[in-house]
Chains A and B, each alone.
Chain A
Amino acid sequence: MKRTAAALAAVGALALGMGAAQAADPLKVGFVYVGPVGDFGYSYQHDQGRKAVEEKFGDKVKTSFVENVPEGADAERVIRQLAQTGHELIFTTSFGFMNPTIKVAKQFPNVKFEHATGYKRADNVATYAARFYEGRYVAGVIAGKMTKSNVIGYVGSFPIPEVVRGINSFMRGAWSVNPDVKVKIVWVNSWYDPGKEGDAAKALIDQGADIMVQHTDSPAPLQVAENRGIKGFGQASDMIKFAPKAQLSAIVDHWDEYYIDRVQAAMDGTWKAEDTWHGLKEGMVHMAPFTNMPDDVAALAKETEEKIASGDIKIFEGPIYDQAGELRVKEGEVAPDEMLLGMDWYVKGIDAELPK
């Protein structure tokens, strides 16, 4: 009972806002996930990052997370509860948490917030995102080399800028080695429905696709590729276990270093509300091993990856026209990040209509 009483006292103290960290106390770091950590996709990868933080700092940190948080009225409460229970650094990992994060941040000026994939910042709100599209360019190069039917099947979740950017980047990669490549896109209106994603993949294969790309979270499309004897790419994590013969590579989210850096900065007092957009260079995005392809394609993929990291390849370098033929990026210029952030048009050559 003594332990219980102590726990109750501690809990009470925190609730009253008296739990301000003392020197010896661990830094409390909170994470808010939109999905379950068991999705083996987006939220799972963020949680891997959280675990890396725990491993790195041991008892100098204490992390908590709340999973399956709906992007509605509940998000604000969850974020606030984290702030109120003494968490000094809080990562909110989905776009839909943007406005709640900003609101809570106003009420807790001494707490540091980090919001993933959004665009609103404040003195105590930083933003971060990964340049997944860089990985998609590499995947496009591989696909362009590997396809025989010249038809790519693309399983999309929702037509948001991140996904559209990924399609554009992928196709520019593919065209760089094979100008005849075409893409067929199916939107499943879900981030996570293995059955539906798999069915979409089957439909695409039935219509001639021989390379499967996905921007949804489950390994289902890749499993279908394996089953039907075609190739494909993993999403968010290395999915080679699900498709040992089909996975060419995977675009892996890797939040470990970023989370460790930010926690370190918070400990050192050097944390600032910045906007971070990291990609292949910094390792926030990296490619799973290049498998199931000839050596020369693997070598080309490796070279492409390195060139993107070094800046020799600039993916959205002009001239870039959109489908209507309008010049979006002038020759000699590179699309600025603001344009990429809000990208809602397909580049010229994509033979599909973007849902609007």
Chain B
Amino acid sequence: MIRLEPRRQHSQKMVYLSPLLAILLTLITGAIIFAFMGKDPIEALYTFFIMPINNAYGVGELFVKATPLVIIAVGLAMGFRANVWNIGAEGQLTMGAIFGGGLALAFYDSESALLLPGMFVLAAIGGTFWAAIPAWLRTRFNANEILTSLMLTYVATLFLSYLVYGPWRNPEGFSFPESRAFPDAALLPIIYDGTRVHLGAIFALLIVAGGWVLLTKSVVGFQLRVVGQAPQAARHVGFRQKRMVWFTLLLSGALSGLAGMFEVAGPIGQLQPSISPGYGFTAIIVAFLGRLHPIGILFAGLVMALTYLGGELAQIGLGLPSAVTGLFQGILLFFLLACDVLTKYRVRFGTVSKSGETA
């Protein structure tokens, strides 16, 4: 029988050790699974975790893949702390891409240096707009934001589909569903030659830093922390719930919108029916994996990105089906989440509980 004893204080040591333990457990479990599937376990684990980043291009790709995850997750984490459940970041991402990308398409032959900044603004507006709907419905009509934000995601992706199959289709593209290519002035500059790392990666880092400052140094951050930890107390102190709903939804909407624009103005370079392989949903995991803390989210985003890259190489190099990637990711996440318990509790084995030791 496993028993958990609460620690008086969160163990600082365990905050760092538990992810390492989780990774170790994942490696062992993974090795067993791969051996069971007839693959060399060491080679398989090497392929998953080392090979993706053993060259500059690979490291670059890690940043490319982690950028949208981190940006979205930082925004979501603020809301989750205040019990605001924005499940629709994917839709806000799509709207950001539509607004920002729309500007690039409207000035498809422009060389203006103002185009890119304009896209930033519009993308943030697009994402904010799409998040404002659930915020308004929640504060005005008490409609649960889990449902409204999720449903609006479907609406946003269908709207993008309508645009690229219809009015925004490339007139020179043989009627295929894609927009014109964005002009160079609308593309995010590459920050390291020979890779695809774009300006968005810098922004991701700035957003992490900004999130950290907001959370730890500002009044709003203090309120967020209090609301998350003791909602009753927060109500007594008089923090206005509605204002929290608006603030966190609009913030995460704006960040998701930016992330969407970074995708289309970065590695994709045009609008097309599918612009995100579910970043808005994966970012929810990243947010919690990072313990709703910007710095944690940065690492969680990189780990998550690494498993995707590793999964691709495992298919190429080892002939493992993509299903194994999902399985392996699931197991890694299970371990990471389970080992979190160690920061707050001590594990004791045996059924006898020592009396006298209370929480």
Contact = CB atoms under 8 A, between A and B. Distances in A.
- Taking the complex as a whole, does A directly touch B, i.e. does some CB pair lie under 8 Å apart? yes
B40 A3 contact: yes
Interface string B54-84: 1101000100110000000000000000000
Contact of B316 (A36, A81, A158, A356): A81
Interface in A1-20: 3-4, 7-8, 11-12, 15
B301 interface: no
Interface residues of A, number: 46
Given A8-B46, A11-B46, A99-B270, A160 B177 contact: yes
Interface stretch (B5-13, B139-147, B201-209, B260-268): B260-268
Contacts of A76: 196, 267
Interface residues of B, number: 47
Given A36-B322, A73-B64, A96 B165 contact: no
Nearest to A96: B272
Interface string A8-37: 100110010000000000000010000011
Given A99-B270, A341-B174, A67 B55 contact: no
A66 B316 contact: yes
B177 A73 contact: no
A161 B272 contact: no
Interface in A191-207: none
B277 interface: yes
B316 A64 contact: yes
A30 B46 contact: no
B304 interface: no
B316 A85 contact: yes
A66 B312 contact: yes
B210 interface: no
B118 interface: no
B317 A64 contact: yes
B223 interface: no
Interface of B: 40, 42-43, 46-47, 51, 54-55, 57, 61, 64-65, 158, 161, 165-167, 174-178, 181, 196, 263, 266-270, 272-277, 308-309, 312-313, 315-317, 319, 321-323
Interface of A: 3-4, 7-8, 11-12, 15, 30, 36-37, 64-74, 76-78, 80-82, 84-85, 95-96, 99, 118-119, 158-161, 189, 338, 341-344, 355-356
Q: Which 9 A-B pairs have the closest CB atoms?
A: A342-B174, A73-B267, A70-B277, A344-B175, A342-B175, A7-B43, A68-B322, A66-B315, A4-B42
